[in-house]
Each structure stands twice: as C-alpha cells, then as structure tokens.
Amino acid sequence: MALRTLNVAPGFMRFMPKEYQDLVEKGPFGRQIKVTDLGTFKEVLEEHPMCEGCAMAFFIRLSLAALPNPEHTVMVGTAGCGRLAISQAAIPFVYGNYCDTNGVATGLKRGLQIRFPGQHKDVVVMAGDGGLSDIGFSQVMHSWFRKEKFTTIMLDNEVYGNTGGQESGMTRKGEVVKMAPLGKQFEKIDMLGLAQTSGVAYIARLTPTNPSRVFSTIRKAVLIAREVGPTYVQAYTSCNIEYSIAPEKVLDDARQVEKERYGFVEIMSDEAKAYLERIDAESKA
C-alpha cells in the first residue's frame, strides 16, 4: 500500500464513510503520531473478535499505531489468536501457514525491495509463541541466521490460546494448563538468548504496561530492521482465558509479571545504535 492509495480521487472523499475520512486525515498514515495521540482519530485497529480484556489485543493495538510508516508496511501472521485482530487492521496482512511466517516474510521483503527500490517497505511478522517458538521455530532461526531485514514480534501468552490451552515452548516449567494437566516438564525457551546468539540486531522484551515504551520499542525494531538486520520483540500478552485472569485484572497481572520475571530488556548491536543516532540526528537537522 502507498499513501496515495488511501486518498481517494478528489471529490469522492466526501462520499467515503466518516471513519475512513478520519483515519486518512488524522491517523498515522504519512504522519508521525505519539502515543498520546491515540483516541484522537479512528484507530488503525478498532474492532476485533478477541476475548474481552485480552492483553494481546491491547498490545497489538499499540504496536500497529506505533509503526513508523504504516502505509509502507505489510504484516505477516498465522493461525493463533493474534491474527483475529491483525487481519482487521487497516494495514495489509498476509496469513502464512502455521510455521512459515518467517519464510513468507523473507520472500516478501526481498521482493518488495526489488519492486520498490528507493522506498523502504517494512515487513513485520507478528504471531504467537506457539507459531514462532515451536512449529515455526526453524524458520525464525534461519531468518535470523540469514540476517533477513524484517521484524519478528512474538505475542507471548505462554500457551496455545487459540486451540484451548496446550503448553508451548514458552510456557513456564511446572505450569498446569488445560491440555498439560500434569504440568509442563521443561523450561521456557530462552528466545532472547537464541536471538542474541544468532546476531539479531535489536532484541527487546516487554509487557504492555507502559504504552510509550511499546511505541518506542516497536519503532526502533522496525527502523533498525530496514538498514541493519533482523529485529525481535517479545511481548508478554497474557491469555486471560487459559490463565483464568479476570479482564479487569489483566493489567495488574502484567505489572506483577513484569516486576517478578518479565522486566524490560533491550539489547542493541553497536551498528544498530549508530544507525538510530544517525537517523535521529538527521531528523533533528
């Protein structure tokens, strides 16, 4: 998508639904918005069928609004709860098979670079912990080994939420979920460590408790992936259904988990740091 495809022919805009006009005129397409702008325009993602109070849905909403150039972004996802929301957003979405997100994103990114030289086209994979740490694991790893320039965002609810509660590689040891009644017997996979070993240029772990931090993290991840190399963001996005968290307690849970075991982590290569400093200086100039 390009910005001009959002702007319908002059004279026709007034016939478009109010929400559409609002999103084009005030939304993040072609302009830089801040987290505090949220709520002042029709959002990129407004309605979705995810569960009431789902932290994942909240994180997805923040992440989509934080994309630096949504008009030049393609999202890649797969089976799992997250795609229920991502596919409803005003951003092109490719639904990969369960396992092949990072292969699809590789082809897409390379193809877009050839088709649109001189224009950054951002590709962002967003999928669950099952999709990325289990069934799609090898594709994630190989995209990192190959230094593919796109962002991978894991929606880590520490369970297979969409299929009713099987343990995933990211479920914690000992955790009892519906379809792991004896408790998980193995440790949570250290995806941050694997990302570091694979040479990922920017790695972050966070919870959705701090919207400004979600904004800046997603922006950095997408920008660094343009020029430097693969980037990885891992977000705690609790499943209130499988972990029996009341919708009104979801953010309390996220704050508690953040304090106890899911604190903010940010790891950046020197090259990534230098790149951010350079574009920052350029934008100030």
Ligand X SMILES: Cc1ncc(C[n+]2csc(CCOP(=O)(O)OP(=O)(O)O)c2C)c(N)n1
Q: Which residues bind ligand SF4 (CB under 6 A)?
A: 50-51, 54, 56, 81, 157, 161-162, 239-242
Give the amino acid at 60.
I
124 or 241, CB closer to ligand SF4? 241
Distances (CA, A) of 198 to 124, 213, 236: 18, 25, 22
> Is 156 in a helix, a strand, or coil?
strand
70 or 80, CB closer to ligand X? 80
126 or 201, CB closer to ligand X? 126
Q: How far is the CB of 75 from ligand X (least distance, A)?
A: 15
84: contact with ligand X by CB under 6 A: no
From 85-93, 152-160, 193-201, 246-254, span contacting ligand X (CB under 6 A): 152-160
Q: How far is the CB of 97 from ligand X (least distance, A)?
A: 6
Q: How far is the CB of 126 from ligand SF4 (least distance, A)?
A: 13
81: contact with ligand X by CB under 6 A: yes
90 or 155, CB closer to ligand SF4? 155
65: contact with ligand X by CB under 6 A: no
Q: By C-alpha distance, which of 66, 6, 8, 79 is closest to 37?
A: 66
Distances (CA, A) of 141 to 63, 135, 184, 220: 23, 12, 24, 21
Kindly tell me which residue out of 79, 112, 214, 228 binds ligand X, with binding defined by CB under 6 A: 79
192 phi, psi to nearest 5 deg: -65, -45
Beta bridge partners of 127: 154
Q: Helices 211-227 and 270-284 sit at what angle, rounded to 10 degrees?
A: 100
Strands in 151-156's sheet, in edge-to-edge order, are: 93-95, 73-77, 122-128, 151-156, 231-236, 202-206, 265-268
162 or 231, CB closer to ligand SF4? 162
Residue linked to tokens 């670079």 = 113
123: contact with ligand X by CB under 6 A: no
- Binding partner of 136, given ligand X, ligand SF4, none, CB within 5-8 angstroms per partner class: none
Q: Which of residues 5-44 bind ligand X (CB under 6 A)?
A: none
Kindly tell me which residue out of 96, 130, 165, 229 binds ligand X, with binding defined by CB under 6 A: 130
